Structures are given as C-alpha cells and as structure tokens.
Structure 1
Amino acid sequence: MSTTAAIQATFEDLGTALADVTFVVLDLETTGGSATDSRITEIGAVKVRAGERLEEFQTLINPAESIPAFISVLTGITDRMVASAPRIESALPAFLEFIGDSVLVAHNAGFDITFLKVNAARLGLPWPGNKVLDTVHLARQLVGRDESPNHKLSSLAQLFHAVTTPDHRALHDARATVDVLHGLLERVGNLGVHTLEELQSYSARVSPGQRRKRFLADPLPSAPGVYIFKDDHQRPLYIGTSVNIKRRVRTYFTAAEQRSRMAEMVGLAASVTPIVCQTTLEAQVRELRLIAEHKPRYNRRSRHPERAVWLKLTAEAFPRLSIVREVRCDHATYAGPFGSRVAAEAAMAAVHEVLPLRQCTKRLSTRTTSSACALAEMGRCGAPCTGAQSVDDYALIARSAAQTLDGSGRGVLDALDERLRDLAAGERFEDASLVRDRMIALVRAAARAQRIRPLADSAEIIAAAPRPTGGWEFTCVRWGRFAGATVAPRGADPRPFIEALRASAETVAEPQSPAPAASAEETEKILTWLDQPGVRVVDIDGVWTCPVDGAGQAQDVLEPLLRSQRDVAGFSEASDWSVASRAG
C-alpha cells in the first residue's frame, strides 16, 4: 500500500480571500410571509467587493393582486405605487443577471432566498445556486446581548453605525445590511477568519484555540487516504479516513465538527500525518488496522478486534453451545464473530428458546448416566445425561442448531417467529421484546457467518470497480484479508496491472475456517465494497455461494422492522411481531 504521493494544491484548498469575493446584499418587500401564497412587491440590492459599493439594483414590482393594508402601512408601498411597475416575469430575469455568480447576502436570508427560488420555479427559470450568507446567523455568533438587545436589522444598523436607516423599503434595508455585513466581517477578521470558506463555516462554538490549529491542515494532500492526529510526543490521538484528507481535516477546526471530544482532541493535537491511498477501500482497511494497532484514545470503534467472540456448537456425542474467543480445527460449528459477549449470550439464548439443547457444561458419555437437571424436568432438554435421549435423536436437534449458526437453515428462526407471535397474541410484550432482541442477535451472527464464509474460504479474489474519472481500480483479497490494490488508467490494458497486483500483493496464510485472515470488520468492509454497483469479480480461487433462504434473507426483513418499532411507543397488534409474513 502506497504511503506517499506528490499532490499539487488546488485553489479550493487555498480558499477564496474575502477581499476577492463579490457580495450582492439584497432585500425584498412582499405582500405576506408565505412564499407560495404571497408576492414580491420590491427588490433592492447592492453589489460590493473589498468594502467598495459597485452597483445597485432597485425596482418595484406589480404583484397582480391587492397589497394588504397592514403591509402598506409597514412598507409604505401601495397599490397605486406598483400599478405601473413591471411584473415579476420581467423583473426577476433582470435581477438574476445582476447577481451573476456573486455570494448572496441577506438579513434572515432564508425568507428572501425562498421567495426568489419559488418565483424562479414559477417562471421556469433555473436557480443559479449562488452561495448564501445570512447576517442574522453571523450576528448571533458575534454580537452579544450586552451590545444589542436583539439581532434585528434596525438594532444591528445602530450598533454598527449604518449610514442608512432601515425602514422596510428594499434598497434602504439592503444598504443598511451592507454596513452590518462590513461590521461583522471586521469582527471575524480579528478572529482569524480571512476566506469565504472559513466565513461560511464560522461558529462561536469553535474555540479560538481550536480555530488556531487550522494550520495543521495546510500541508495535507487533497487525496483519499488516512489521517492521524498526533500529540506533541507523536502518539496517535485519533485516526480517520476520507476521500479528501485536507478537506476533512479542515472540518475539525470549524462548526462542521460538533463532537465535544473532538474539540478536546484538537486541543491536544500537535500534528496530522497523512497516508495517501490509491483507493477508498485501501484507506478504510488501513484505518481499521491502524486503530487496532495504536488504539487511539479518541477513537471509539474498532479499537479491540481481538475481543471478538464466537458462538460454538461443540463436536461431541451430545453437542452444546459455548462462547469462545477463537476458531479451532475441531470440526465444531461456529457463528460470528460477535462484537461483545452480551450479543453472543443473546444469540445463544435465542437458540435455547426453541431448541432443547443441553445447557450443562460437562462432557457427556454414551456409556454412563447421571441424574436429570431442572431444565430436563421443565421439558427444555431431552435429558441425554439420563439415557432418555439417544445420540441419533439428539443429533437431529444439533443438526438444526448447526444449520442456524452457519446461516443455511430457517427452522429455528421460524420457530422463534412463531414464539414471537404467540407472546404478542397473549399481550406479553415485554417477553416478546426479549425474544425479539435475542432473535436479531442470532440472525445478525448467522448472516455475518453466511456472508463471510465464501470470502474467508477463497485463497484469492481479484475484483474490479470502475473509477468515476475512467479506468479501473483492482483489489486483491486473500482468505478474506485485503492484500493489495492498484489502479489502471482510462484506455490502458488492465491485464498487466492485474498480474502486477497479484505478484505484489501481501502473502496471507490460510486461516482456520470459518474465521477470515482479517478482523471481521475488515472483511465486512471488503464485502460492502464487493456489493457496490459496477464491481465485478475478475478471478477467484474458491467458490462463491450464498443460501437463498438463509439468515441473510431473515436479516433483510428483521432490521427494517426493528428500526420502525424503535420509533413506536408500544405495540398492540400481534401482526407487528410477525417476521414470516414479511419474508414470504
């Protein structure tokens, strides 16, 4: 995997200096507050750059309807004044030509911009999509109540000594907003905000110390890869990935980053190390491996893949379920891995809910017997320990459990679904919730085992994905582990690139099936990439199979159902709990 690359800075990376930005400060007068039901009666705008007023635009507009009396009292605009004024059909195209590609500025910009967009849509005019700056939003970040009682235009105009007093006439209000804008820009300039991009993301929630660290992003490349925040002892604090390292790291110094722990992390950061990767998948895998290796204190996920556990159906005369930390060559059946022991215990309980597997931990002999346990007396175990159940009879139960764990059977899941419906019909909703949670834990584990197995059992897979700019990216996967990647440019013969990838890819030792040679999260990342539209398998040393009626299908039904039920306060209908009807 490549770690360095020469990247040339772009104008986007440098930012647009505020002194070079052309702003059009605008204001509208209307017949009411609803953009769909009201009409524009006046447009006023001032074009400014670097503190200099360049042009002005002003026109009354005939709304083709009577102006309400209270609006006339507020604005001073009457029906008589607009009688000979142009209609919006001619006024709006002229105004769109006036604004060009300028940054639009308004006080409570959402109101004015919505009116303009709605009227453009009515006339079939394309909205130009100019960037928008709201002086109300900016003032809320910069002007405290000790300076101004509120953030109304009239109050701010007084605070910043505007030359024009706002009076609800469009051009007058636009001129006053220009003075307010310049006052606000002077304040953010003193805080180190000098580009349009910084201004758009400015927020008072970002501390001065956090903002001062933005220089850490300056030397970073605009390329896909991994970034590592490090403290002054070069210890990793946080590891992330992005399709554009520079752009992503910049967000940690703006209002776009709202996680409090990230603000704390930035305060400790002394440097950011980039690792440029050829493909997005390579970056994602590198991120996972680095997090697992360094365990940065500010990363919450992927820190401990070694803690994953498996649910195991033992290989013995009378198999039982147990939770283990590794897969061994012992002919047992495994499901997982699980991210926590709690999830594994829930999946185990789901199987025990409908299958009378023994739950004792001792190894049973076919020659000797012992007394029955409480579960046998309750009818939840066939009591093979007493000789009441033969090896062959017990094997039928164990086979059903094994099929469930490897994701190829639906018998246990159907039985759990029946159990859910019975509990719901009896209005035992708390018990039904418990069974449901256990069932989803089992389904997730079985589906994961079902998805991972073909990848983990394949010695090598070469897959290709089309690049947006043309050409192909190729990935080599060995025993479920990312082994290498390369990129073939547009028009090039891909075969030499594939052979070079195969020769240079990481050598991976065969793991103990069904475990892959990588963490389950890495293998899942690979599977997600393989499932993307347009990705195709070029070559495979293995067999790719997936049961049609397995755990994956059950998961596709259960997950949306579970998400929808989380949004409901309670459940009253038995049909809410039925999975089989949705799977059918």
Structure 2
Amino acid sequence: MSDPMPSVHPVSSSALQPSFDDLGTPLSEATFCVVDLETTGSGADAEITEIGAVRVRAGQVTGEFQTLVRPTSPIPGLITVLTGITNRMTAEAPGLDSALPSFLQFAAGTVLVAHNAPFDTGFLRRACAALDHPWPGWTVLDTAALARQILIREEVGNCRLSSLARHFGSTITPDHRALTDARATVDVLHGLFERVGNLGVSTVEDLLEFSRKVTPQRRARRRLADGVPEAPGVYRFVREREDGSDEVLYVGTSVNLRRRVRSYFTASEKRRRIDEMVRLSTAVRTTVCCSALEAAVTELRLIHAYAPAYNRRSKHPRRQTWLKLTVEPFPRLSVVAAVREDGADYVGPFGNREAAREAACSLYDAFGIRRCTPRLSTRRPSTPCALAEMGRCSSPCDHTIDVEQYRRLIDRVRDCLRHDLGPVTEAANVRLRRLITEARFEEARTVRDRYDSLRRALLRVHRSSALARCREVVAAQPSEQGWQLHVIRYGRLAAAARTERGEDPLTAAVALQASAATVPPPLLPLSGGAVAESELVSDWLEQPGVRLIELSDDWCLPAGINRRLAVALPSSDPGSGGGDEESQSGDPAP
C-alpha cells in the first residue's frame, strides 16, 4: 500500500548529511574529566571537603585539579579516620563558593567521569543549585556501571575502585583522597576502554549505551538509520516480507528523523514493547514533510491504513461510537457505531459505548426524554416504566405526553445539540447543588463527569462539522525558513508546502490550490477526513500567527456550545479532581 499522503518536497543536500552528533565522538578525540569528591557524609546535609580531578585525552593526562574545601560544619570523626582530612586542614581552605567555579572552569567542555557517578554528580548538582550556577549539562560516564557490564564475577569479586585498580594493574592505590582516587579511576577507565574496543565500542555514545545495558544486538541495528535524513517527517519501522512487501510495525513523527530513529537503538528507549519492535524490524522507511501538521496528519493516516501492532492508537483505529437522536414519532437516544444519511442528529465520537451512555444521561436528566428502546405506537398506549412513575421520564409510552408535546421536547434537545448547551448546564448545576448539600459527593462526581463527557463530544463534533462545511480553506503560518502553506478541503488536509524566505507565499498558495487533492463533500457531521485529522487541522488553524488566505464558507462554532458548570465539587472530596477542570481525551498528539 502506498503512503496515504505521498509528497515530494525540496530538501537541501546539507540536511541529508549526518551531523557530528549523529556520528558520535570517537574515544580518542574526547576529553574526559575524571573527578572524585570527599565529603562529610552521604546525607542531604553533607558537604564537600575535597575536590580532585584529572583531565585526560587520547590516553594522556593534560591537567590535574585539587583543592580542599572548607565546610560550614565540623567534619565528623569517623570521616576524618576514613579520609585523613581534619578540621585544621580545611580551616584555611577556600569555601565552596570559591572552589566550585574553579572546578567548573577546569571541567568545561569535557565528558565527566566518576566511580559511582550519581554520588559525585549529586553533590555537584546541589552545589551548583545552592550557588546559582547553571548545571553544565556534562555527558556523565560511570566507571562502576561500565565495569558491571564488562567484567564477570570470576574476574573480579566486586566493582569497588580499589578492586578494579588492582585488577587493571594500576600503580595508584586508592586512599579516600580525592586526587589519588581520581588518578586511580583514570587507570580503571583506560582498562575498561581496552576491554570494549573489540566489541564495536568506539565512541562516547557507544560507551554510554554499553554502560546502560543496551544489548550488542540492539546497537548493531543502528544500521537501519543509515540514510535517514535530518529533516522533519514520518518514520515507519517495517519487517520486510518474502514477497517484497512491508509489514508496518510502528509509525512515528519527529522534527529530526535521523536523530529520532537512532534513539531507538540507545539506552534512552526503555519501553519493553518498543524493544521487541526494534528486534523484529528489518528496515526503516521515511516520508519527509514540510510542516508539523502534515507530519501529524500523515502519521494518523498511516496508523489508520496499516494498524501497526506496536502503536497504541492502532488497536481499533476505525472503531467509533456516536450518540444518535433517532427519527421516529417518539425519538430516543441510541448508541451507534456509524453516522448514516438518515436525517438524525449525531453527537460524538466517543471513546467507547459507556462514555456515550454517560453523556446521554445528562440529556435524560435535563429533558426527561424516554430511555426505553421499543418503538412506541402513536395510537395505543403501553405500560409506563419505573422512571415514569418516579417523575424522571415524560412518559410518552402511556400518552401522558402526546406526539406534538413530545416533538416540542425533542426540538429543545435538538436545539441543545446544535446550538446551546445551556438547558443541560442549568439542570446539571441544580442537581449538583442538591447533591453537594446532601453530601452525596460520589453521585455529584458522576453528574459532573457525565456532563463533561457530553460537552467535550459536542465541542468535538461542532469543530469537525464547522470545517466540514468549508469547501476550501487556504492558510499559512510563518516559520524561520519562510511560510508553511496548507490547503484544507472539507476538513481534510489536501495539500501542504513551504516557501523559502523571500518567496511570495500568495503565488505559492495559488499553485498549491491547483495541485491539491480533490475531496468530495462529506456526510455531516463527518468531515472529509477522520475526526482525529479534523481535530489536528482545527488545532493548527487556531494557533497564534496562522493567517487565512482564502475561506470559501463561514467557519464558526455556536456561541453556547462550550458552556461549563458553575458548581464545583468541594476540594475535600478526594475524587473531585478540582471541579470543572477541562479533561483531555483521545490519543496523545504526535
């Protein structure tokens, strides 16, 4: 199957070249700063008493740094026994406010290395925060973690610095003094380098991945990223079949395809299902896009087209649930799976049938329309249900209300669905006040959730149908490179392009209109594309800075359709969630 939205876009040759970041920094060209700290303890109130560091490049020491640091509280006796650092030794030493900037300057632009790095970096982070120094953002390498991945227990019993120094034949014996321990760590680092050289580890990035338990098999699959451009767009992990076709396993978007695809083969990707997906993949296909909107829409269409096994949103991509106001003498609300051309009013889509039923309850409470499912006769009355006896149904079944009276009631329901949510809002507020007064918070929360479900569905359907009524919308958004142009027809993205700086966007827009895809008028309230695509397009059109170039029809929402409840549940109610906060629904944006 071809891409649902194939496109060809000019991409500069420089954008296709791998950057130095993507190639990685060779170990022989990286400068490492091996650091060790001595402290007054390990708790949150402990302080640094000594900093020692060795800067090394290509196996050669290029500088050393050592200073005692005067703490603000006495050094505990046990620490003095362990390190040999006394209060007298630090009495004349510089304070942390003087020592830290000197170390930061010494370590600038290096890869920071430490044995049990979280301990040392934790103290350095707290020191930077306390003294208002920005964290340098070092790449950090932990020799202890790396040793655990490289060495087996038969070689060395544990990964303490002293044990590793002996194992690698270091001439330095660690003694709990910062500079001595840093020098010993240098020897350990070089010993570890020798061990991983024949395992395909040649860059700093490879070394980090190795220390984070990235398997050699996963690292080896980085070849799948070869040739992936450094450009925005959509990527697809595929498994090639014997007949030459592709089984699409996963679809995603990125502003930099090459960087994102490479990240799947590093330690930054920790999802178990994605790890399984990477192992099954045999190739990566990409589609370069000219805007974030085009990328998001293309991703959505690909997910709908292929239903990839490893995309969460592809589980049931075509399954939708709608709430329908039936067309019959005594109409009722019905939960259906599709919109049909039958003259009925539809609200949705909802995430599932239960959500649609919950939304219907808000309409039942507000208008008292019938909930029974049989088709009622206009001539012969039938036995009323329990809801009618409780006064919660208008009871058309026993002709308590006749056809004309019920029609007027249904007209109010239609007006609510089409124009104004006010009557439902008012009814929900009245019931919420009563329930809260009676301290029936669980029921009140149910009323609120039902109302929110209906309001979100109405807003969704009106946003979609507002665009679906527009035969064509041409809009542009400025970017650093020029303008991003989009042609939208009946709510579906029909074409996208970008202009270079200095190029006339109006001329480009006319050309884009001429080449845009033809979209037939949809069946309202559906749009020319999927509801999710219409929402993506609406979100983009409503962004600040988007300019409308051409609009064929009115594009607007009913003024009263997005009303909110005036009554909020008490904050002491553990399930209230803060009253009328907007809930997010649907799938996450790409």
For the aligned pair, the TM-score class normalised by the smaller chain equals 0.7 to 0.9
1:154 to 123, 148, 162: 162
Letter in 2 for 1:517: G
Report how far residue 97 of structure 1 moved: 3.1
Report how far residue 122 of structure 1 moved: 5.9
Distance 2:101 2:449 in 1: 59
2:486 pairs with 1:475: yes
Report how far residue 272 of structure 1 moved: 0.8
User: Aligned in 2, Cα 1:361/1:128: closer, same or farther, shift over 3 Å?
Assistant: closer
Report how far residue 189 of structure 1 moved: 4.2
2:537 to 507, 514, 526: 526
Would the aligned equivalents of 1:464 and 1:535 in 2 still touch at CA under 8 Å? yes
User: Aligned in 2, Cα 1:510/1:502: closer, same or farther, shift over 3 Å?
Assistant: same
Aligned to 2:3: none
2:59 to 28, 51, 62: 51
Describe how 1:237-256 pairs up with structure 2 within 5 A.
Answer: 237-256=249-268
Distance 1:296 1:116 in 2: 45
Aligned to 1:356: 368
Report how far residue 169 of structure 1 moved: 0.6
SS of the residue corresponding to residue 371 of structure 2 reads: coil
Distance 1:408 1:148 in 2: 75
Tell which deviates more after alignment, 128-137 or 98-107.
128-137
Would the aligned equivalents of 1:407 and 1:552 in 2 still touch at CA under 8 Å? no
2:344 pairs with 1:336: no
Would the aligned equivalents of 1:407 and 1:550 in 2 still touch at CA under 8 Å? yes
Describe how 1:267-416 pairs up with structure 2 within 5 A.
Answer: 267-302=279-314, 304-364=316-376, 366-406=378-418, 408-416=420-428
Would the aligned equivalents of 1:222 and 1:244 in 2 still touch at CA under 8 Å? yes
Letter in 2 for 1:101: G
Report how far residue 509 of structure 1 moved: 0.9
2:19 to 10, 20, 24: 10
Distance 2:317 2:229 in 1: 30
Aligned to 2:588: none
User: Aligned in 2, Cα 1:459/1:202: closer, same or farther, shift over 3 Å?
Assistant: farther
Report the TM-score when normalising by structure 1. Answer: 0.87
Describe how 1:216-227 pairs up with structure 2 within 5 A.
Answer: 216-227=224-235
User: Aligned in 2, Cα 1:539/1:140: closer, same or farther, shift over 3 Å?
Assistant: farther
Aligned to 1:134: 142
1:488 to 477, 499, 522: 499
Report the TM-score when normalising by structure 2. Answer: 0.86
Would the aligned equivalents of 1:310 and 1:335 in 2 still touch at CA under 8 Å? yes
2:450 pairs with 1:442: no
Would the aligned equivalents of 1:139 and 1:151 in 2 still touch at CA under 8 Å? yes
User: Aligned in 2, Cα 1:551/1:403: closer, same or farther, shift over 3 Å?
Assistant: farther
Distance 1:323 1:64 in 2: 70
Report how far residue 81 of structure 1 moved: 2.9
Would the aligned equivalents of 1:334 and 1:406 in 2 still touch at CA under 8 Å? no
Aligned to 1:172: 180
Report how far residue 482 of structure 1 moved: 1.0
2:531 pairs with 1:514: no
User: Aligned in 2, Cα 1:127/1:359: closer, same or farther, shift over 3 Å?
Assistant: closer
2:546 pairs with 1:535: yes
Report how far residue 576 of structure 1 moved: 7.2
Distance 2:425 2:156 in 1: 65
SS of the residue corresponding to residue 336 of structure 1 reads: strand
2:81 pairs with 1:70: no
Would the aligned equivalents of 2:425 and 2:563 in 1 still touch at CA under 8 Å? no
Tell which deviates more after alignment, 380-389 or 477-486.
380-389
Distance 1:328 1:47 in 2: 72
Report how far residue 308 of structure 1 moved: 1.4
Report how far residue 114 of structure 1 moved: 4.4
**How many residues end up aligned between the 2 structures?**
569
Distance 1:110 1:304 in 2: 43
Report the aligned-residue RMSD.
Answer: 3.3
Report how far residue 47 of structure 1 moved: 1.2
Letter in 2 for 1:444: R
Distance 1:430 1:41 in 2: 57
Aligned to 2:114: 106
Distance 2:361 2:83 in 1: 71
Report how far residue 139 of structure 1 moved: 4.0
Where structure 1 has 5 or more consecutive residues not aligned to the other structure, the ranges are none
Letter in 2 for 1:254: T
Tell which deviates more after alignment, 294-303 or 368-377.
368-377
Distance 2:127 2:274 in 1: 42
2:216 pairs with 1:214: no
